[in-house]
Chain A
């Protein structure tokens, strides 16, 4: 250890310096307070011994300056004194002194005190080193975290937000993402607790949110998925209070789901009207998939409407009387702020002024402002990529093409696979039987007539039926050339959707006028199947030279 002694009396200095040297420490000597400060800057000693009464600068003043310079470093200061008035001693402690040594010096006491402070100093240095290490690690992790959690469109001109964390990591999360149709989805979440444990839940939340919104999922789908994910990964007792808003710029309305956060407001800056957004649900991550409820509120919006959401850190800020800031005071800020563009700043400055001075922030503070204004231009710049109504939780707008070659045709039945695929469109499930029939008919039509050239009139008699299937087996085994291609497209519509199926074989086809003429009759070889399909579909069309058929199946939500 390196010790600095500041003592103006030369004989006292000699005694003290020698006592300390004998303990194995390095000694730096100053003869007054100013020199003590200068030598402190130069040598950064581990422990200081300061005489109280010294010329130029007394020990108390020197201690104050040194404390200030040392900052977070723990530099024990021991005052050397023969003062014995209680008030003098108190002043020494108040100036940052840690202990006293009284004259005459007692070598045993000096040794014991220096040893105790060395131990304290080493402990503190180690703690500091570990904390620094921890902070470095957290900062590095935070960089990654922010890339995952806070990307998206938070920098849109109609959004302002502030996250003021209590620690490096934050239990509050603000997400914004744009739907393919230009609409904006915003979510403010507040995880139980603070710091790293609270922040970790934000990662899956952000990932699901950004992923699903950009794919055009509805708010309900996103929240259901987020809820299920959080429920499965968060420990019991940890959940996420959240308010999520879908801003529809075309129909000028918003859809809001609120679970557990303090009520937000929709503030009209011209009429000063305030609508409250009240929580009606349990927070995310508590209920299982079956119990999760989605009962949104809808609000019509004008250009002057601004949405404000906050975490409970704002509402629960306490003043010196331990009173909470509260919702009423918040509403008061809205009422008293004449400049509508200043509300965001006013809220923050009021909360700050209210808070206990120099008090430690008790919770993460988060505030977000989302304006309807300015946003439509951005939204409408983007092409309409999907239909307004998106199917819930499943395939919506999709296309599948699939081509089977001879080897596949010989040993694989594609109908179940394709039926399963169609089944992924929610709402189509009740039509499974019908669709399976259509697929099967179109497939056998293409294979048996298009590729194998079988005549269905064979099936008119019992023997012919057997003969037909024997031939089918034979010809299929002998098939050396031939392909069948499926093209399926599904398009979601307001009340359901349209499924278009095209089946094309590599056969020669047939003459269309002839086909069309006989299609309504039962005379032709594969008339029965085609007639069945025609009753099930809205449109059926053969494409020249007859090796390709398109059917359209319109469906409605049941």
Chain B
């Protein structure tokens, strides 16, 4: 089964709504997502799981809005575990986020 990284239908709709600002949106998202990802990594290293949760939450929402549903789902797992207090898989999720984000970034850049 092929994994869908980006919902292209959703992105097409956004492009229609935003017109010229679509590229600004992509750039903004990519910058922000990178920042959040760094925050998650730093927070997990410092065992600040609340900070990790907040960053994951933010990245989840933004990713969902751009159709990066796979990335949003991994963020959701991380957010959930941080909230639930089970931190064993956090680092694994963090790495998955990094890998998925690399793909999303590549695909998004192709759209602008």
Q: Which residues of A are interface residues toward B (Cβ below 8 A)?
A: 8-12, 14-15, 18-19, 22, 53, 82, 103-105, 107
Contacts and interface: CB of A to CB of B under 8 A. Distances in A.
A107 B65 contact: no
B64 interface: yes
Among the interface residues B13, B14, B31, which one has the most CB atoms of the partner chain A within 10 A? Answer: B14
Contacts of B13: 107
A85 to B, nearest CB: 9
Given A103-B64, A105-B65, 20 more contacts: A10-B28, A10-B29, A11-B29, A11-B62, A11-B65, A12-B61, A12-B62, A12-B65, A14-B18, A14-B21, A14-B24, A14-B28, A15-B14, A15-B25, A19-B17, A22-B17, A53-B54, A82-B60, A104-B66, A107-B17
Contact of A9 (B21, B61, B67): B61
Contacts of A9: 32, 58, 61-62
The 9 closest A-B pairs by CB, nearest first: A11-B29, A104-B64, A103-B61, A82-B61, A103-B64, A104-B65, A9-B62, A14-B25, A11-B62
Contacts of A10: 28-29, 31-32
Contacts of B66: 11, 104
B6 to A, nearest CB: 12
Interface residues of B, number: 22
A18 B14 CA distance: 10
A11 B60 CA distance: 12
B10 interface: yes
Contacts of B57: 53, 82
B60 to A, nearest CB: 6
Given A9-B61, A9-B62, A104 B25 contact: no
Contacts of A22: 17
B21 A18 contact: yes
Interface in B36-66: 54, 57-58, 60-62, 64-66
Contacts of A103: 60-62, 64-65
B76 to A, nearest CB: 8
- Max chain B Cβ within 10 angstroms of own Cβ: one of A9, A11, A53: A11
A382 B60 CA distance: 88
Contacts of B24: 14
B82 to A, nearest CB: 13
A365 B21 CA distance: 64
Interface in B50-99: 54, 57-58, 60-62, 64-67
